[in-house]
Amino acid sequence: VHPAYGSGNSTASTDEGSVTSSGSYTSSSASSSASDGASGRCSFVAGCGNFSIQYNYTCASIATAIMVSHHGLTGNGLRPDYPQPDWAKTCLLSVVFIGSVVGMLTMGFLGDFLGIKQALVLTNSLTMFGAMASALLSWGSSETVWAVITASRFVLGVGVGGNYP
């Protein structure tokens, strides 16, 4: 029996890869090493995303502690620089986690719809926007500052949650 018509185990090799007698193509190591490089970049971007998540959570906690102090000092009899409203005391921390759940539920779908790369860019952009908005858009009365920070933390949470699915 001729090898091309036999068991299907014969292959034709080229510099770019090989084709089996059944018509399937396997790539060479040069193309596979390019794929490894792309995989390494994706792993690096995902690692940076996870680092930024923890960094933003920690910074948000530190910023809250500074805002409820008076020129960096705390204690009885000192009036905070930005008094924290009652609603902010109860929902400021939970809004980040609510945003994370929303991000987990929506970004997985967007990854399927837009593609992983575009969804990763979107979720990291939301994380960056939420962090930058809380830093740059917080001015005005105490109530306004806390409202902006709460909304920014929700956006940050959506971006953070999108990195996990």
Beta strands in 9-95 (DSSP E): 11-13, 17-20, 25-27
- Give the confidence band of 80 by pLDDT, cuts at 50, 70, 90: confident
Distance CA 119, CA 108 (A): 8
**To the nearest 10°, the Cα dihedral for 65, 66, 70, 76?**
20
Residue of 3 and 157 predicted with greater confidence: 157
Q: Is the pLDDT of residue 2 over 50?
A: no
3-class secondary-structure state, position 23: coil
Task: Copy the structure tokens of residue 126.
Answer: 């939301």
Average pLDDT over residues 74-89: 79
First to last CA, the chain: 52
pLDDT tens-digit series, residues 10-56: 444 444 455 455 544 455 444 445 556 677 777 787 777 677 667 76
Judge whether 12 and 23 are in contact, CB under 8 Å.
no
